[in-house]
Structure 1
Amino acid sequence: MIIANITSDAISAGTVLGDLGKLYAILGEYGKATGYYQQYLDTTVAVNNIQGKGTALGNQGIAYLALGDTNKGIDCLYEYLDIAIKIRDRQSEAQALGSLGIAYTCLDKYSEAIKYHKQYLKIAQKLQYPQSESVALANLGLNYCFIRNYARAIKYSKQSLNVARKIGYRRGEGTALGILGLAFYLQGSFVKAIKYYQRSLVIARIVQDRRWEERDLVNLSNAYCALGEYEKALEYNHQHLDIVQAALQELTRSQA
């Protein structure tokens, strides 16, 4: 009974540590997040909580990716994947595969990234998780952009867009639109690129994602420059500048 209580308390403490890590990750403080995830991981190892260990490793891996320590992130994610397969947790397996795909994209190893995203997609479809399916399809579209296979990039991005719209997943819809814009821009179809970037921008503003909005404004400016429409390009540059200045003012006020 005493051992059971100790184990239960340790699992509860680990969960709290993991939740603290998630909160710091949401705030963008990934260094602090990794500290709490490491404590969570140590706790799970101490009480032989295999599932908790996998969760801790997965979160730790994503935090390392956000910090730019991609190799450490990959090490954690491979351990996470091994545990997920061992305990037959298909959802965690899918998450690990998707995160590994993102990691290899960060390393510019696009063929490797595509391999993992295809495995992620297969599980998401089998488990009937449409949001994960939309994410996997979008990531495939992005990586095909990077290897200049624009036909496949457009194909996967449109599939992602259709799934996202079907379930009302606005962030996924915006992501797919942005990748479609990128694919058309890279193949020189600037008018089509603008159409998709503008649709993505509308959603970015609806969900109030400032970074996403900034990215779309920069992309629109670049596309109009490519068309030789410099006044339009300047218009979007000024909108981008307004956002940056507003963010700086907020930062100054918060530090006062």
Structure 2
Amino acid sequence: MNSNTPSQLLLSRLEINLDEVPIEQLDHYIAVENFLTDEEELPRDADNLKKVQKYLEAFHHICEVEDWKRAIAISSIRIFFNEELHNQLFSWGYYPELAELYNKLLNTPSPELNTTFLYGLGNLHYAKGDYRQAIDFYDKCLKESQGIKDFQTVGAALNSLGLSHFRLGGYDKAINCFLQRLVIAWENNDYQGEGAALNNLGLLYSTQGKYRKAIKYQNRSREILHIIGYRSGEGNALGRVIAS
């Protein structure tokens, strides 16, 4: 058996010792080992979900015994394109499976991780076009991240809240979120965050027909992103200026 496959490497990382497992949890840990040692070759036309099914099965068994450290390890395994499993599910569009994964992980005792999963649920609903539900999760993420002074996540949550309100036509609320995002960026020397907030303000004002204001914000965004060498963001800002 190849011990260098992703599933074998993950099993080694989990360091499960069946001799130390409580008897009432033994079946679940045995199931995890069985799924991760199963190297059955899948058909060439197997869909992407089938390719990661054994990891999801192992994840669910680990969650049944509330072994959150190992559950997080499984959810973050990198199998394809160097993407963590939960991000890969998002990229592939397997939203029900991803929602189930995130909702289970919300039981973890770590506030830092909870903000990550709340933000992930917000992104999931945003991608589905369910902006009101996205706002609910982003708002919860914002409050928790403020409580633990995780200002990087605070900034991300404010930006995503602003975009969600923007999608619903709540321009005043969106402006308020982007301005708060701008302040957080200034306070933490987050130039990329500052550029993103300015760019989004420009986009919003352009949508409202306030073109002079839009150009002002997006020119400033382009200048900042150029200074820090963030070419992708700079291109987006430049595109908005031209469109305005």
User: If the TM-score is normalised by the length of the shorter chain, which range does it land in?
Assistant: 0.5 to 0.7
TM (norm. structure 1) is: 0.63
Does the aligned pair in 2 maintain the 1:54–1:83 contact within 8 Å?
A: yes
Does the aligned pair in 2 maintain the 1:14–1:44 contact within 8 Å?
A: no
Counterpart residue type for residue 203 of structure 2:
L
Judged with a 3 Å threshold, the aligned counterparts in structure 2 of structure 1 residues 83 and 38 are, in CA distance, closer, same or farther, namely farther
What secondary structure is seen at the aligned counterpart in 1 of 2:169?
coil
Question: What displacement does 1:25 show?
Answer: 2.6
More deviation in 92-101 or 54-63?
54-63
Distance 1:173 1:7 in 2: 40
The reply on whether 1:43 has 2:105 as its aligned counterpart is yes
Q: Which blocks of at least 5 consecutive residues in structure 1 are unaligned?
A: 184-256
What secondary structure is seen at the aligned counterpart in 2 of 1:155?
helix
Distance 1:38 1:163 in 2: 39
Judged with a 3 Å threshold, the aligned counterparts in structure 2 of structure 1 residues 72 and 16 are, in CA distance, closer, same or farther, namely farther
Distance 1:34 1:86 in 2: 29
Does the aligned pair in 1 maintain the 2:145–2:153 contact within 8 Å?
A: yes
Distance 2:184 2:155 in 1: 6
For the aligned residues, what is the CA RMSD?
2.4
Distance 1:179 1:170 in 2: 14
Q: Which residue of 1 aligns with 2:193?
A: 132
Does the aligned pair in 1 maintain the 2:75–2:86 contact within 8 Å?
A: no
Q: Which residue of 2 aligns with 1:143?
A: 204
Q: Which residue of 2 aligns with 1:233?
A: none
Q: Which residue of 2 aligns with 1:121?
A: 182
Judged with a 3 Å threshold, the aligned counterparts in structure 2 of structure 1 residues 44 and 13 are, in CA distance, closer, same or farther, namely farther
Distance 2:179 2:165 in 1: 13
The reply on whether 1:64 has 2:125 as its aligned counterpart is yes
The reply on whether 1:24 has 2:89 as its aligned counterpart is yes
Q: How many residues of Structure 1 are paired with residues of Structure 2 in the alignment?
A: 178
TM (norm. structure 2) is: 0.66
Distance 2:221 2:164 in 1: 20
Question: What displacement does 1:127 show?
Answer: 1.2
Counterpart residue type for residue 22 of structure 1:
N
Q: Which blocks of at least 5 consecutive residues in structure 2 are unaligned?
A: 1-19, 23-65
Distance 2:143 2:100 in 1: 18
Deviations, residues 30-79 of structure 1 (Å, cap 9, x unaligned): xx14532432332231x322221110110111121111111111111111
Does the aligned pair in 2 maintain the 1:21–1:34 contact within 8 Å?
A: no
The reply on whether 1:81 has 2:142 as its aligned counterpart is yes
Q: Which residue of 2 aligns with 1:190?
A: none
Counterpart residue type for residue 65 of structure 1:
Y
Does the aligned pair in 2 maintain the 1:21–1:33 contact within 8 Å?
A: no
Judged with a 3 Å threshold, the aligned counterparts in structure 2 of structure 1 residues 68 and 181 are, in CA distance, closer, same or farther, namely same
Judged with a 3 Å threshold, the aligned counterparts in structure 2 of structure 1 residues 76 and 147 are, in CA distance, closer, same or farther, namely same
Judged with a 3 Å threshold, the aligned counterparts in structure 2 of structure 1 residues 133 and 2 are, in CA distance, closer, same or farther, namely farther
What secondary structure is seen at the aligned counterpart in 2 of 1:148?
coil
Q: How does 1:1-256 map to 2 (within 5 A)?
A: 6-16=67-77, 19-27=84-92, 29=93, 32-33=94-95, 35-45=97-107, 47-183=108-244
